[in-house]
Amino acid sequence: MRKIASHVRGHFVAYLALFFALGGTSMAAVNALPKNSVGSSQIKNGSIQKVDISKRTVSSLRGLRGPRGPAGATGAAGSTGATGATGAPGAKGDKGDPGTPATALWAVVGSDGSTARSSAHVVSTAHAGATGGFEVIFDQNVSNCAFIAALGGTTSDSPVGEISATRRVTTPNGVFVFTLDDAGTGTYKPFHLAVFC
């Protein structure tokens, strides 16, 4: 150990000269690098910090975006908002076309089977079948329609008795009406008939 210490003391000045010579060479090597000679291969990954980059470069990087990430989970439904104010009334619409009459198929038939009054769709009225029976023939199929009949004629009298209206078996355009007196016997009485299709 004493020999080493004695050696260092004897050659201190030489070692000091060697240290400065080597240090100066390293500094000269760093300062002697040509311009733009350092590339990506000479830089350790992750070693460049924000302070090493110019403000202009940092600013230009802020506008860049990476690829869009996956969509996140759907959030919970929000609470119902307040009801908005009532809007102003709209403009009045155009007048609609006249509606279709409730029924265009009707007849008032006398006790003799004649037509007292009727719509334009009645072809004929007459006695039919047994006493008290009538048929009313229209110009169209009424087999799937509804029939309403009531006793009564062209006067204000209200005949007492019963009445029924059914589809005429012999023709799909006909209605069979049967009238009875208050004793339930078939008899010819005036009536009103309406057909709804």
**Would you say residue 179 lies in a domain?**
yes
Whether 182 has a pLDDT exceeding 60, the answer reads yes
Which pLDDT belongs to residue 92?
86
**Would you say residue 121 lies in a domain?**
yes
pLDDT above 90 coverage of the chain, percent: 40
Number of domains the chain is built from = 1
**Would you say residue 36 lies in a domain?**
no
Q: Which segment of 2-16, 78-92, 109-123 scores lowest on mean pLDDT?
A: 2-16
Max intra-chain CA distance, the chain: 163
Within a 13 Å sphere around the CA of 154, how many CA atoms are in the beta-carbon half?
12
Which tokens go with 14? 């030489």
**Would you say residue 64 lies in a domain?**
no
**Would you say residue 133 lies in a domain?**
yes
Q: Are 85 and 77 in contact (CB under 8 A)?
A: no
**Would you say residue 173 lies in a domain?**
yes
Encode the chain in three state secondary structure.
CHHHHHHHHHCHHHHHHHHHHHHHHHHHHHHCCCCCCCCHHHCCCCCCCHHHCCHHHHHHHCCCCCCCCCCCCCCCCCCCCCCCCCCCCCCCCCCCCCCCCCCCEEEEECCCCCEEEECCCEEEEEECCCCCEEEEEECCCCCCCEEEEEECCCCCCCCCCEEEEEECCCCCCEEEEEEECCCCCECCCCEEEEEEC
Whether 34 has a pLDDT exceeding 80, the answer reads no
- Print the domain residue range for 185: 105-196
Which position has the higher pLDDT, 108 or 32?
Answer: 108
Which position has the higher pLDDT, 53 or 161?
Answer: 161
pLDDT above 70 coverage of the chain, percent: 68
- What predicted TM-score, i.e. pTM, was given to this entire model? 0.49
**Would you say residue 70 lies in a domain?**
no
Q: What number is the average pLDDT over the span 156-180?
A: 89
Which pLDDT belongs to residue 43?
72
**Would you say residue 53 lies in a domain?**
no
